[in-house]
Amino acid sequence: MIRTYFRIAWRSLLKNKLFSFINIFGLALAMSVGMMVMIRVKDSLSFDKFHPHPEYTYRITSHITNPEKLSWELASTPLPLQEILERDTLLAAASVNLYPVIHESATDGAKDIVVSGSFTQSSFFDAFGFKLLHGNAAVALSQPFSVVLSRSTSEKFFGTNNPVGKLLTLEKLGVFQITGVLAEAPGKTHISNDVYISYTTVDKLEALGKLPPKSKTFNSFESGYTYIVLHENQSREKLQSALDRVAGDINQDSDHGIFRFKTQKLSAISPNWGTLYNDFARAASWGKIITEGTVAFIILLAACFNYTSLSIARSLTRTREIGIRKIAGAKRSQIFFQYIVESVVLSFFALLLASVILSFILEYKPFNDGYEFIPETSVDWILILSFTGFALFAGLLAGVMPSWILSSFKAVKMLRNTMTENIMGGMTLRKILLVFQFSISLVVLIFLTAFYRQFSFMEQADQGFTKENIVAIPVQPKESDSFRNEITRIAGVQIVGSISSIFGDHPTGSANIGLSHDSQRSVKIDYYFCDAGAIPINELQIVAGANFDSYTESREQSIILNQKAVHVLGFQNIHAAVGESVWIDSAQLRIVGVVKDFYNKGVANAIAPMALRNRAANQNLMVKINPNALQQTTYQLEKVWSKVYPGRIFTYTWLDKENARRYDQAATISLLGFLAFMTVAIASLGLLGLVVFTVETRRKEISIRKIIGASVGQLINLLSKGYIKLLVIAGIIAIPIGYLLSTFFLMNFANRVSFGAGSAITAFGFLLLIGLAMIISQTFRASIQNPVKNLRND
């Protein structure tokens, strides 16, 4: 019986090649999206699986309720909490702190690299499954001023050589001895740092004033991350009781609110529900996973609607087949399963085509651009089973409705040839499906139009500073003088200056700036460290006062504000601010100038208060080059670099290219374009199939009308007007929805393109043209055929 089902299904696919192609191609496009989502879900669920006891490992979170009854939950905890939990040896098999405050330049004497990292204890290797490639895990983090490097960081500094015993200098924290190198983690994890420094160093750095005093206070809930591994005979409830006792002691001495600690399983960190503040989970959140799954399901549903619609339409040609089978004794369940098998067989053919599409996506990664949308993956038995189950689900979803309807027909009506569209309940269902598909397609097209226009605008908009012909070279300020002096002699170099962070992305930092030493009256303002050359290089306009006196002052004394900063500080006008003093970082600085407002954080953000500080710091040496000698001058810069810094790699960034890259959403646009193509293709194929079937079932009517004098135009109008009305209805539904979604999206940007109803109507016009091409191509061909051929058998 099963063999017969498959044989009939195969014959049906071969007999109806056009309908089979429409269904297989549409399902394959939709299934490729579902398969991409499944790969992303598998990747998100693979985090932190290699640790020794994930079922007994918990991260402690903080729940805070302030006196105004406002509450929030943090993934972080005060640093002393770990020490208290560690004392309970009956409860904790291991406990560890991560104190991730390291983000600065590090050097081995030859190379300078910005690193990020955490302070942690030796128990780090007991709680987690990280191993050392070089060094002894038992002692690597036991002594003060010892550091363990990640493998990638070690290779950046020392290549493949063993660096244990060598020294690494961090700009703000001091000199550290390298005691280990981490081996490559055997799986994905939410914990990722360049360096790990022994926690015993924290007390000493706090005493030296290089770290704020947080290791002994419970007043700083945002500082550290506490993990605990329970003994196998202990329970989560006992851990919670211990945490409640600690919180009770804190609440007795606090009048700032009520504090509680909670437990979070290691497996719940990545992915999570995104409800924790101060979290550094790396996998997609459950909300994002559910959203992606919903989008994939909607697209799959649209493709399944094609099968449903076309199968119901084709039923008119199979009524006698069903009637004869029922007269011969076939049960309704047998006919039902016959059509289910046809749907599943078609779905597995679609799976093969979808696998081909997916292989190209995995190979060429068109949707990855600085963000790994499709992660690197190996096809294992889990994915194979998932894809197989997905194809089976798609086949059942597509086939269940037509199978149910077709198997319910009465044999007598079928054999009398009284089966008409009225038995099918008319065209209502197919009309609804068609309108739904084109509505989704139009919403995606409208949103893609808004997205593309907005990012094109931000890439091309005038940000108020010059980016062309400027190259930024990262250097250390203490070593930059000789290099700077050498490159100023190059003929193609016009101006040289330095700045801590290039404009257009993120400022170097922010600080409270006020007119007095009273911090309560200060304003938080973003700042950059720069010299006098940064202003003419970027062609910033000084509207009051003057530039800095020298390239780099030996001691910070002056500051330049933008117009916005002058306003928020309360000065009467920009000229009144010049010569006045402000307090920042416990230092009093004199305002020497005011620059015209510009978009230092990009046009996506509103202009904010900003300050330029004349102080040496980690910097980018900016060089403005003669546009007629770009290539030659760049070559000369590299030669000077090799002379001044032998053995170091010459790295540089063109400001205009960096700005374009920052706003380049080619990968996202490619993804949205792919989704738009799929939805439009699926809807268009469904429309094509219905029009073709309508033409086929009305050939005799068309021939008779043509014989009695109907013109080609009249026949095209007769066959097309119903479908055109459906496209118009889809437009009426989708245009306001797409317009509202686009408007809400654009509200995220301080500066945005104008997006009126005209843009949405233009997108509808494009979709309408595609629909008309599908409709008229078939109706015109039918209207010009010789009626004699269609009536010959009658």
pLDDT score, position 422: 45
Segment (H or E) for 320: helix 319-327
Q: Report the C-alpha gap between 296 and 750 in whole angstroms.
A: 31
Segment (H or E) for 85: helix 80-87
Cis omega (within 30 of 0) on the bond before 271? Answer: yes
Q: Torsions phi, psi of 159, nearest 5?
A: 65, -140
pLDDT score, position 419: 44
Which residue type occupies 97?
A: N
Mean pLDDT of the chain: 86
pLDDT score, position 468: 92
| 236-286 pLDDT, tens digit each | 999 999 999 999 988 887 666 788 999 999 999 999 887 888 898 888 788
Reading the block at residue 207, the tokens are 């005493």
> Residue 337, Cβ neighbours under 10 Å: how many?
18
Reading the block at residue 107, the tokens are 């050097």
Q: What is the pTM of this model?
A: 0.74
Reading the block at residue 122, the tokens are 């030796």
Q: Report the C-alpha gap between 437 and 29 in whole angstroms.
A: 14
| 698-754 pLDDT, tens digit each | 778 888 888 888 888 888 888 888 889 999 999 999 999 999 999 998 998 888 898
pLDDT score, position 371: 57
Q: Which residues of the chain fall short of a pLDDT of 70?
A: 1, 254-256, 312-320, 369-372, 409-429, 476-479, 517-521, 550-554, 617-618, 647, 788-794
Reading the block at residue 477, the tokens are 């300020």
46 near 305, Cβ under 8 Å? no
Q: Report the C-alpha gap between 776 and 765 in whole angstroms.
A: 16
